[in-house]
Amino acid sequence: MTEVKVSFYLKRNEEKADGTVPVPGRIRIRKSMIQFSGKVSVPVYLWDTKSGRATGKSKIALFINASLNKICVGIYFLYRSQPE
C-alpha cells in the first residue's frame, strides 16, 4: 500500500481583514501532489510551521486543530476504502 501524506501550510499573502490567513493543504501519494482549500483560517501568531498545526490550548487553536484533524481523517478514510 502506498504511503499518503497530508500537510497544511499558511497562505500568508492572502491575509483577511480580521488578521487571519487561509490554511490550504496538500495530499501526496507517491510522486503526485494535489492542493486543496482547507476552508479554515488561522491567526498567524498561532501557527506552528514545523507541525503544520495551531499552537496552544485556546478555543481557537483547539477548533482549528480539530478541523484539520477531521480533514485528515476523511482523506485517509477515503484513500483506504479505495481498491488498489
pLDDT tens-digit map of 27-39: 999 889 999 999 9
| 42-69 confidence digits (pLDDT tens) | 999 999 999 999 999 999 999 999 999 9
Residue at 17: amino acid letter: A
The structural domains of the chain, with segments of one domain joined by +, span 4-81
- Give the span between the Cα atoms of 33 and 10, in whole angstroms: 17
Query: Which grid cell is 16?
Result: 483577511
- Give the span between the Cα atoms of 66 and 63, in whole angstroms: 5
Q: Closest Cα to residue 72, out of 35, 38, 21, 44?
A: 38
Give the residue-averaged pLDDT of 24-28.
Answer: 97
